[in-house]
Amino acid sequence: MGKSAVVGVGLSKFGKREDASLRELAAEAVYESFQDARDIEPGDVEAVIVASSQPERLVVQSHVAPLICEYLGVKPSKGAFRVESACSSGGVALRMADIMIRSGEASKVLVVGVEKMTEAPRSEVMTTLSIVGDKDWESIHGITAPAGFALAAQRHMLEYGTKEEHLGLVAVKNHANAELNPKAMFRRRITLNEYKDSPPIAKPLKLLDCSPICDGASCVILTDAEDARKYNDTPVVVKSITQTTIGNSSTTVDDLTTWKPLVEAASRAYSLAGISPKQVDVAEVHDCFTIAEIIEYEDLGFCGKGYGGRFVEEGQSAIGGEVAVNTSGGLKAKGHPIGATGIAQVVEITLQLRGEAGKRQVSGADIGLTHNLGGFAVNHVVGIYGRMT
């Protein structure tokens, strides 16, 4: 089997985008990706995969993959389809594209993530997010995302002595990174005192622990790695993309502080890529809530179990630390337009490995990792990327 490589990336501005519809957001990211790649035209694309979580509810539009293809003038001979996997939609779409290229089904695949979340009434958005879990047995009883991750935070604090300040330091770090990202939603720093004074959401989580409702789109062009240098002088190789899923309800999560499907997906990703966690230079992880990033440090092997709070406190996840995490600002500050998130993570890793991340550049970045999560820690996609030698 062959390998795939990233030869073009694009990202819309994230935020409340009253100036753009769903298809227009997608076009922003796709246009930028074609500008980034060399000698690839819309007519060269063989397959299109669109990641979008719930456009039926948020913008009252289904069948969005052909819709976007038509708007962009793309007529893929190997088909176009949409992937829905809640917040991990983007990661799953990339995995499907990688499989298509590795299997020989296609040699050029356009992967687009897009979500328009701010147009719908707030009550509709909240319902849309809450039904990601088991509606009949959990959501209607109050086990929504903030409640579930608050339980994880409480348990981590009880077992490992993690403090409110540790959660706050994740938010402070990611806002500082977002200030350096022209595409981020929140381009401003926050202080630890601002964090502590932010309104409570679900104890111990506060407003500044939570990723925002957001509009945005992202795009990656994947080709066969053997041909990648035809289209970009600095292509990025997909070393591995793995996924592990255990179900959909919180009852399938038998340990709130160790997410076993993440541990498993990460272990396989490292093995297939032939690297260890210590070789990762830069990572984009799924910080839907600040506690998630702390647990992910541990389960991805960046530090020992229970040391996630100290890891951020010591600056080991900052730019210049042991492994720079969420240099884009993460979901917390860059924004979290659901379907676009997993693909936006690869955009950032690609820029970092090329040395094109500007003021947030990680010096000498050679290996990058992405982690995209769906549901309450039940569905995990881990990708490993490297500079082509």
* Pair of tokens at residue 142: 């109050």
Query: Is position 175 annotated as part of the catalytic site?
Result: no
Query: Is position 371 annotated as part of the catalytic site?
Result: no
User: Which member of 87, 214, 219, 288 is catalytic?
Assistant: 87
Could you give the count of Cα atoms lying within 13 Å of 370 in the half-sphere of its Cβ? 31
User: Which member of 156, 166, 286, 336 is catalytic?
Assistant: 336
Alpha carbon distances (Å) from 15 to 74, 105, 196, 217? 27, 36, 24, 10
Contact indicator for 49, 251 with CB cutoff of 8 Å: no
Taking the C-alpha atoms of residue 76 and residue 45, their distance in angstroms, rounded to an integer, is 6
The counts of H helices and E strands in the chain are 13, 12
Instruction: Taking each helix axis as running N to C, give the angle between helix 164-178 and helix 290-299, from 0 to 180 degrees, rounded to the nearest 10.
Output: 100
Distance of CA 125 to the CA centre of its chain: 20
Q: How far apart are the first and last CA of the chain?
A: 19
Taking the C-alpha atoms of residue 309 and residue 329, their distance in angstroms, rounded to an integer, is 18
Strands 216-224 and 324-325: unpaired
Burial class of residue 108 (count of CB atoms within 10 Å of its CB; 0-12, 13-18, 19+): buried
* Pair of tokens at residue 16: 């409340």
154, 157, 160, 166 alpha-carbon torsion, rounded to 10°: 130
What letter does residue 221 receive in the DSSP assignment? E
Taking the C-alpha atoms of residue 100 and residue 94, their distance in angstroms, rounded to an integer, is 10
| CB atoms near residue 97 (< 10 Å) | 26
Taking the C-alpha atoms of residue 85 and residue 380, their distance in angstroms, rounded to an integer, is 10
Which residues are known catalytic residues?
A: 87, 336
